Amino acid sequence: KQEVTQIPAALSVPEGENLVLNCSFTDSAIYNLQWFRQDPGKGLTSLLLIQSSQREQTSGRLNASLDKSSGRSTLYIAASQPGDSATYLCAVRRRAGGSYIPTFGRGTSLIVHP
């Protein structure tokens, strides 16, 4: 059974810091890994999707890496801003029959204060 752990559970930092959020998973037989952002009362917004054959993906100030063999992914946020405050979720997808079921972590709650 796939288990996804996100560390830390919560993080509070001053604006401008570079951040690393961690995601670990127990079963390396994944199809892809996705990082999401969730704002209070809102749905999930996809940030980055890494296929199992890829090592990293970048979008703006965000960079996500994947080390499938060690069961780890990191989300790097450069020069954090107050607008980055949200909960960040990691989800790994495996194939089960004709479906690709995601397993989510519990998330990292990030607060960036001015």
Partner 1 sequence: EAGVTQFPSHSVIEKGQTVTLRCDPISGHDNLYWYRRVMGKEIKFLLHFVKESKQDESGMPNNRFLAERTGGTYSTLKVQPAELEDSGVYFCASSQSGTVSYEQYFGPGTRLTVT
φ, ψ of residue 85 in degrees (nearest 5): -60, 120
Q: Give the span between the Cα atoms of 25 and 6, in whole angstroms.
A: 9
- In the complex, what is the shortest distance from the CB of residue 17 to partner 1, in angstroms, rounded to a whole number? 26
Nearer to partner 1, 80 or 89 (CB): 89
60 binds partner 1 (CB under 8 A): no
Return the residue of 31, 67, 78, 81 that touches partner 1, per CB under 8 A: 31
Other beta carbons less than 10 A from residue 34's beta carbon: 20
Q: Give the span between the Cα atoms of 38 and 43, in whole angstroms.
A: 6
Q: From 18-26, 69-77, 78-86, 100-108, give the range in contact with partner 1 by CB under 8 A.
A: 100-108
